A and B are shown apart, each in its own frame.
Chain A
Amino acid sequence: MTTAPSAELGRGPRLSLVVQREIARVLSPLSFAGIWFALRIVLGYRVDDLASARRRHREIRIRSNAPLLVCANHLTMIDSFLISWAMGSPFWFFLHFSALPWNVPERSNFAAATWQKLLIYALKCVPIERGGSRTEAAAVLARVAHLLRNGESVLIFPEAGRSRSGRVEVESAATGVGRVIRSVEGCRVLCVYLRGDHQESFSRIPARGERFHVAMSELEPKTDQHGLRGSRDLVRQVVRRLAEMEAEHFDGRQ
């Protein structure tokens, strides 16, 4: 059985994703409340101009029915929670559950213990092992492509890990993301740049009471190149856009 992103998923993996999605939906009032409480109350986080960010996401989402892959810069281990929070309110995501992005967390960080496995299962996650078997990575990318083709939103960090320099690194662009874009017809990319005021470099979690700035930009990457070069070209377009957004972020703060 092939597991390439361009291939259709087998019945088993398709069914398991449907079941996971429905379990996540049923549990979502609980998980949304828990995450909101942790981010907002326990950690005291704020997102600058949150309403505008959510409006921007809604505008991009309703502009087209084409698949929407969310690609973001990556500095902390809870970026995916912060980005989802910035993209929509818990109530809106409950009503538009497909818009709540699936995530592809690193297995050793988020799926080591049983409770972690259960938690990320209920949070629409498909874990991946960084630097692990390429066959397994391809199977995960095939799931991602399938989800996108079926109207689900997926969040991926195209740098394939938290930036060690604290800045967007174009050279770290993961070609697998380009493969997904290439294999999903008409795939749009929502580039999201998120950074806290005190986030100088990468870390496990942002400082308590942190204030975040978020920017969103829609991109439809295209390439004339084939094979791996095409995939690399596509993902580099995405990461370059993130780098431009980062430059705008710092220019705006001077």
Chain B
Amino acid sequence: MSSTDVFERVVKILTPYVKNQAALDTVARETHILDDLKVNSARLVDVVLEFEDAFDIEIADDDVDKVETVGDAIDLIESKTA
């Protein structure tokens, strides 16, 4: 799976949780999930669990702390699926 595919799937998973819909129009790897997309921090866990299901991976609690941006999420997923 290419990085572009992962990016698109990550954004699709994030979309229902995004409060700042305008930020979705310019979403990029550098986009901050909490600060820019305004995803509720409590809901970030649900997002990560959806990543697990969608990519058939298991993400450790500690790994979630490293996910700040869309790019961080993509890197984490790619490291687990490599």
Contact = CB atoms under 8 A, between A and B. Distances in A.
Interface of A: 2-6, 130-131, 133-135, 137-138, 160, 172-175, 179, 182, 226-229, 231-232
B62 A2 contact: yes
Nearest to A230: B61
Given A131-B41, A172-B42, A4 B34 contact: no
Interface of B: 34, 40-42, 44-45, 48-49, 52, 58-62, 64-68
A2 B61 CA distance: 12
Contacts of B49: 228-229, 232
Contacts of A131: 34, 40-41
Contacts, number: 53
A137 B62 CA distance: 11
Nearest to A138: B65
13 contacts: A3-B65, A5-B61, A131-B40, A134-B65, A134-B66, A134-B67, A137-B65, A160-B41, A179-B61, A227-B61, A228-B59, A231-B61, A232-B45
B42 A160 contact: yes
Contacts of B64: 134, 228
A12 B27 CA distance: 39
Nearest to A3: B65
A79 B66 CA distance: 32
Contacts of B40: 131
Given A134-B68, A229-B49, A174 B42 contact: yes
Nearest to B46: A232
A173 B46 CA distance: 11
Given A3-B65, A227-B61, A228-B59, 20 more contacts: A2-B62, A4-B61, A4-B65, A5-B61, A6-B61, A6-B62, A131-B34, A134-B41, A134-B65, A134-B67, A160-B41, A160-B42, A174-B42, A175-B61, A228-B45, A228-B48, A228-B49, A228-B64, A232-B45, A232-B49
A137 B61 CA distance: 12
A252 B65 CA distance: 42
Most chain B beta carbons < 10 A, residue from A173, A175, A182, A228: A228
Most chain B beta carbons < 10 A, residue from A134, A135, A232: A134
A47 B15 CA distance: 46
Most chain A beta carbons < 10 A, residue from B34, B40, B61, B67: B61
Nearest to A136: B65
A172 B62 CA distance: 20
A234 to B, nearest CB: 11
Contacts of A232: 45, 49
A179 B49 CA distance: 15
A226 B52 CA distance: 12
Nearest to B38: A131
A175 B45 contact: yes
Contacts of A231: 45, 61
Most chain A beta carbons < 10 A, residue from B34, B44, B59, B62: B62
